[in-house]
Amino acid sequence: MSLEKDLIKKLVKVTSRAAVNCYKFLGKENKKLADKAATDSMRNDLNNLEISGEIVIGEGELDEAPMLYIGEKLGKGYGPKIDIAVDPLEGTNFAAKNLPGAISVLAVSEKGNLFNAPETYMNKLAVGKDVPFDATDIDFPIKKNISNIADSKNKKINELTVCILDRPRHKEIIDELKSLKVNLNLISDGDICGSLLVTDNKYNIDLFLGIGGGPEGVISASALDAYGCKFQGRFIFETDIDKDRAKKMGITDYNKKYELSEIVKGDSIFCATGITNTEIVAAVKKENSKFITETLVTHKESTIEVIKTEEAIT
């Protein structure tokens, strides 16, 4: 059994409305109010769907934001049983400063098919479907991954571009990439959008890697799966508290490397609506008496498309 295609337009409405509800907070330098607006909107709209849903990837614990918390039941309690991963406002700083990169995003799967990820960091790697599966690995040295990608794409190493979060924790990786003469796309936040840049050669990103949020890794994996891309992740548990929380979620091997097929099983739907401009989707626009949004939708069984929606201003 796969997810019904009819569910797509309902989920597009959920992320679109969350984005619209953020609009009045763009550039207001208050990321918590923007996040709360998106979260409240998403919770309300999900609760009005004829689903029996449960949050397995929540948002907010590390940001002290208004949570759609792990384990929260959503929907009218009847209809398809689904797992839900949410990030009502990915890129809170971007929204607060009205900078490119803010999206409202969710992913759903049939019950039990979406990995229940703790709110901790994850080491990640993503490449496009034009790179052979065994050419890259999160455990390979940087130089080996780069050389293999160059060989598989018939490119010179100095023609490759790597997307990575610009963080002090990545200094050694960034320094090595520079020494290899690899081009860099350094992003300040928003590694869901960053990872999606490997999905199409038009974005000119050959590899996405580095340490970012674990929940964002799981959400990204849903879209990357539909594109046929490769994704690997390894959670980073630095404290006993992190390990205890992971254990309660059924994780016993704290050093396990997860393949995409272990993170997203079977069918899934991913929706990401632009709040501010991104390379994937455009920002919310206000025109006359309506809001116009763009949403990237992936449904492994049926579609990858950008859907434009209009909503009257009330």
DSSP labels for 158-195? GG-EEEEE--GGGHHHHHHHHHTT-EEEEESS-HHHHH
What confidence score (pLDDT) does residue 250 get? 86
Task: Say how far apart CA 216 and CA 13 lie, in whole Å.
Answer: 21
Least confident of 19-33, 237-251, 262-276: 237-251
- Mean predicted lDDT score pLDDT of the chain: 93
For residues 134 and 145, the answer to whether their CB atoms sit within 8 Å is no
Q: Which of 281, 288, 289, 234 lies closest to 118 in space, CA to CA?
A: 234
What confidence score (pLDDT) does residue 74 get? 95
Q: Which of 99, 112, 90, 113 lies closest to 15 in space, CA to CA?
A: 90
**pLDDT tens across 183-222, in order?**
999 999 989 999 999 999 999 999 999 999 998 999 999 9
Mean of pLDDT values over 241-268: 91
Q: Which of 10, 111, 8, 4 lies closest to 52 in space, CA to CA?
A: 111
**Whether pLDDT at 66 is above 70:** no
Least confident of 139-143, 183-187, 220-224, 298-302: 298-302
Mean of pLDDT values over 250-274: 94
**pLDDT above 90: percentage of residues in the chain:** 82
What confidence score (pLDDT) does residue 4 get? 80
Is the domain spanning 6-114+267-312 CATH 3.30.540.10? The answer is yes
Query: 6-114+267-312 and 121-263: same fold?
Result: no
Task: Say how far apart CA 55 and CA 116 lie, in whole Å.
Answer: 9
Residue 62 banded pLDDT, cuts 50, 70, 90: very low
What confidence score (pLDDT) does residue 6 get? 85
Domain ranges of the chain: 6-114+267-312, 121-263
**pLDDT above 70: percentage of residues in the chain:** 97
CATH number for the domain whose boundaries are 121-263:
3.40.190.90
What confidence score (pLDDT) does residue 300 get? 85
Q: Which of 231, 214, 198, 189 lies closest to 89 in space, CA to CA?
A: 189
Mean of pLDDT values over 279-285: 97
Residue 64 banded pLDDT, cuts 50, 70, 90: very low
